[in-house]
Structure 1
């Protein structure tokens, strides 16, 4: 039985990391790794470390890279029975360069996921995971790599009427795709400070200010992070702001996904607001320091 559906990008992360500072045109020594990634996959991997069993709903090609990716997901204990496997679309990939001064550049090639469209949601309507008569009940982690059209469909779909939606943009460049889900009655929105600014078409000085603004725009509940500074959770009633532990940053790709997953796990286990936010911040800090949170 699944504990949560992770809907969105599952791909290969190709990450180049250097210990020195970099700028445009830099050519420095470092390490290049290839690991399972994508927002949905990053969330699922953290959920597994905390003991939850996620089901992946995504598009993966029937190529060698796709076979290897599915095999790796199964090895980690994820349910892959409902993944849409395409004969025509290649497996997606994300490429990034990180240095001592943070993320230098990244390119997300999630075109296959976008091309697959609502085919990835078939298990929610054909009875495998749910139907319009008996929609899926439980947590759903949804990422912004889906097309605007598909997100709009999800926002009004009866298939998600009973779900506890947890929504995150794939990147600042795709943050505005979430506008269609901002006022969803069961959605919790996870964004960083930059993404919150894009959704509100302004800039914010703090996570608390951003969280209040998103609530004023109609969001039911939001969590806004601001790197190592602080994070705020807001509802229509109040704002809770906490500061994460100070750590040496060795990686950044996937930190927000780790935060979101740890927060979902904490609430699934019955933790209160403060304890859940504290645990999520600790998990994200542990992750960026180079360790795997547990």
Structure 2
């Protein structure tokens, strides 16, 4: 039986501007192209996890508009169960992505109102099998009680800490660690804990998190657990758009890790999956299948 993933958090419309350079305040530039596509940290992660073999249910809200209809349809196209999604009164949230020529980007997101009731009900109803709950960092301020409930119900709990203010992460790490089995964060956020990503990962696992991963973009990632810390490299690929690569990394890590808890192996699998995902424009332009990831690892 496939492991179950409950994914709770952002689903939105991505408006992406492809630029020769990312402007500063007071500047004006002309985009090579401006496009719209479904996005959202956790929605991206849910699509990738489904494609990599997990059974995925998504929890989040969309507005009564075309963007919301497209977002739900896109999740369903990837095989994600959207039956627990809720309708919000406002419009579907929008994310502005400024994409530079080397795949670098700046992202501006709207806040998201979240209804926890369907998620709490699902935690009670879920059958006894391998199962995970993953949330984005924007949920942690008011979602720690849900994560603790999930652990009591036998779930592996996971969060992408991006979205937490750096000062808040340092101050609340002990409280956050009590609710998490797996934590993901990028290099910039890790600097709130230590200058060295290995030390930051060790700090997180030292607080009680079972496994931690610090993503380093094209330089790969650092993964750690109670038995060690490893730097995993990213296969060399041409970068078209790095949007969503961290979401694919988190999905691939969990998809592999829940099968046996091997942190280093899961880190290498996740780095390869993320490398494939940057080869096309859009957060879901090139979400890999498991066979593609295995093939890239063997070829590398």
* Band of TM-score, shorter chain: 0.7 to 0.9
The answer to whether structure 1 residue 68 and structure 2 residue 63 are counterparts is no
Q: Runs (4+) of structure 1 moved beyond 6 Å?
A: 132-137
Q: Which has the higher contact order (CA 8 A, sep 6+)?
A: 2
**1:154 alignment counterpart:** 146
Structure 2 matches for 1:58-207, cutoff 5 A?
58-86=60-88, 88-111=89-112, 113=113, 116=114, 119-125=115-121, 129-131=122-124, 138-146=131-139, 148=141, 150-157=142-149, 161-171=153-163, 173=165, 176=168, 179=173, 182-184=176-178, 186-198=180-192, 200=193, 203-205=194-196, 207=197
- Give distance in 1, aligned partners of 2:82 and 2:125: 22
**Stretches of structure 2 lacking an aligned partner (at least 5 in a row):** 281-285, 290-300
Moved more, 282-291 or 59-68: 59-68
The answer to whether structure 1 residue 33 and structure 2 residue 35 are counterparts is yes
Question: Which of residues 45, 49, 52 is equivalent to 1:50?
Answer: 52
**Stretches of structure 1 lacking an aligned partner (at least 5 in a row):** none
Moved more, 99-108 or 161-170: 99-108
Under a length normalisation based on structure 2, what TM-score does the superposition of the two structures give? 0.81
**2:228 alignment counterpart:** 238
Instruction: Measure how far apart 1:78 and its partner are.
Output: 1.2
Under a length normalisation based on structure 1, what TM-score does the superposition of the two structures give? 0.82
- Give distance in 2, aligned partners of 1:174 and 1:90: 29
**2:292 alignment counterpart:** none
Q: Secondary structure at the match of 1:5?
A: strand
**Counterpart contact for 2:225–2:263, Cα < 8 Å:** no
Q: Over residues 129-181 of structure 1, what are the superposed CA-to-partner deviations in whole Å (9 max), with x where a residue is unaligned?
A: 24299899611111112261x22322443675421011103446578467475
- Give distance in 2, aligned partners of 1:228 and 1:170: 18
Instruction: Measure how far apart 1:280 and its partner are.
Output: 0.7
- Give distance in 2, aligned partners of 1:186 and 1:136: 19
Instruction: Measure how far apart 1:269 and its partner are.
Output: 4.2
Q: Secondary structure at the match of 1:182?
A: helix
- Give distance in 1, aligned partners of 2:150 and 2:277: 36
**1:280 alignment counterpart:** 270
Counterparts in 2 of 1:182 and 1:15: CA distance versus 1, 3 Å: same
The answer to whether structure 1 residue 6 and structure 2 residue 1 are counterparts is no
- Give distance in 2, aligned partners of 1:268 and 1:73: 22
Q: Secondary structure at the match of 1:21?
A: coil
Counterparts in 2 of 1:57 and 1:236: CA distance versus 1, 3 Å: same
**Counterpart contact for 1:16–1:30, Cα < 8 Å:** yes
**1:221 alignment counterpart:** 211
For the aligned residues, what is the CA RMSD?
2.9
**Counterpart contact for 1:196–1:214, Cα < 8 Å:** no
